[in-house]
Amino acid sequence: MRGPDIQQDTLFSTVSPEQRVPKDHPLRPIRQMVDQALQALDGEFDTLYADLGRDSIPPEKLLRAQLLMALYTIRSERQLVEQIDYNLLFRWFVGFSMDDKVWHHSTFTKNRDRLLEGEVAHKFFAQVLEQAQSADLLSKEHFSVDGTLVEALASLKSYRPKDEEEPPTQDGGRNPTIDFRGEKRRRETHESKTDPDALLFRKSKGTTAKLNYMGHLLMENRHGLVVDARVTQATGTAEREAAIDMVEALTGTCRVTVGADKNYDTKGFVEAMRCANATPHVAQNDTNRSSAIDGRTTRHEGYRTSLTIRKRIEECFGWLKTVGGLRKSRFVGQKKLDFHFVLGAAAYNLVRMRNLGVVTC
């Protein structure tokens, strides 16, 4: 017998979002790891909020929601709030019940400064790494390093002389017509009026110069997990300087190896690595120059192995840019982009750890 097409909503429901999510859903192990990391940060959250006053939005829910942006390539916080409202899977992951009202999208903006001040993204990233360490997934001896450009949220028209006032509006529109032909723009004399931290950078000869930041990753070679992530200004030496800082920040007493591409083949970087108790397995750049790496390093089989495995760091950057939405910054300023970049690296590690079977449901 044909059933009736009844479209009347029920007044009450006894089904929770937890019951709607399949037991084998890939988000379940990630949610378990995220909750464990957030529970370890409970004391840190207490120091960021006052003891008296009206209850605020729990920072745990804000962080879970921003992880969803990286995991599901959600382009904006406005769209994220919209999807949390009607998507039962997202409601369950963030921690909402069926009837809870979702906050306004501006809540992220109002609470971001507090999370930035407490360096919550870096602390959350460290807690995820501790779980990987407990599962014996991290290598303590072999690493790879690299950097990539992240386009800034600023127009080339905003890159003007530092002492120049706003250009007059032309053609009757809000967007002025500016002719850069023949004008020499240097970092000493020019800056972006909308994002002063962003610098004009050209990836290679023959390519267009854009306002960029530079993201850096340090990857361990055993399972390809990110052990350090940070954002700097896009300068010609930023990759090597950030790599030195990340390697020096490694804990441990044993000597490590650091694989890198030809851009790191400089005398200063190689000497800095050796002073940091690290063996630089850098690809030789001997085109019209002499390489800083000689036969004392290249003759070992481990050198060739490092050069092969270091290419896996491009998988990290590929995921962050395509899935994590970090091809172009959503925010103005280096600090906000660094928060988003580190949180994206933590999301990448969570996906890798889930695939490696760290948590089973």
How does pLDDT run across 88-103, given as a tens digit for each residue? 999 999 999 888 899 9
Residue range 299-315: mean pLDDT, rounded:
93
CATH number for the domain whose boundaries are 139-153+212-341: 3.30.420.10
20, 90 in Cβ contact below 8 A? Answer: no
Question: CB–CB of 125/339 below 8 Å?
Answer: no
Q: 329-335: long-range contacts (C-beta < 8 A, 24 or more apart)?
A: 329/150, 329/151, 329/152, 329/153, 329/213, 330/76, 330/153, 331/153, 332/152, 332/153, 332/154, 332/194, 332/195, 333/195, 333/197, 334/197, 334/213, 334/231, 334/232, 334/233, 335/116
- Average pLDDT of the residues in 2-22: 76
- Please give the pLDDT value at position 3: 67
- From residue 308, how far is each of 25, 143, 242, 282, 302 by CA, in Å? 34, 12, 22, 11, 10
Question: Measured at the alpha carbon of residue 310, what is the angle toward residues 305 and 313, in degrees to the nearest 5?
Answer: 155
Q: In whole angstroms, what is the distance from residue 76 CA to residue 94 CA?
A: 16
pLDDT tens for each residue of 154-202: 888 888 887 777 665 566 666 666 666 666 777 777 888 888 999 998 8
Pick the residue with more confidence: 168 or 281? 281
C-beta atoms surrounding 222 within 10 Å: 15
pLDDT tens digit sequence for 68-89: 999 999 999 999 999 999 999 9
Count of CB atoms situated within 10 Å of the CB of 352? 19
- CA 346 to chain centroid: 7
Q: What is the mean pLDDT of the chain?
A: 88
- The DSSP output letter for 312 is G
Query: Average pLDDT for residues 14-32, to the nearest whole number?
Result: 89
Residue appearing with tokens 């840190």: 44
pLDDT tens figures, 32-50:
999 999 999 998 888 888 7
Q: What is the pLDDT of residue 138?
A: 93
Per DSSP, the three-state class of 95 is: coil
Q: Could you tell me which residues come within 8 angstroms of residue 115 by beta carbon, excluding any fewer than 6 positions away?
A: 48, 59, 62, 63, 121, 339
Between 17 and 275, the more confident residue is: 275
How many whole angstroms from its chain centre is CA 304? Answer: 29
Three-state secondary structure call for residue 217: strand
Predicted local distance difference test score (pLDDT) of residue 139: 92
For the chain, which residues make up each domain, given as ranges? Answer: 17-118, 139-153+212-341
pLDDT at 172: 60
- Do the beta carbons of residue 20 and residue 88 sit within 8 Å? yes
pLDDT at 316 over 70: yes
Give 361's pLDDT tier (boundaries 50, 70, 90). very low
Please report the sign of the dihedral spanned by the C-alpha atoms of residue 112, residue 116, residue 117, residue 122. positive
The answer, yes or no, to whether residue 270 has pLDDT greater than 60, is yes
Does residue 31 have a pLDDT over 70? yes
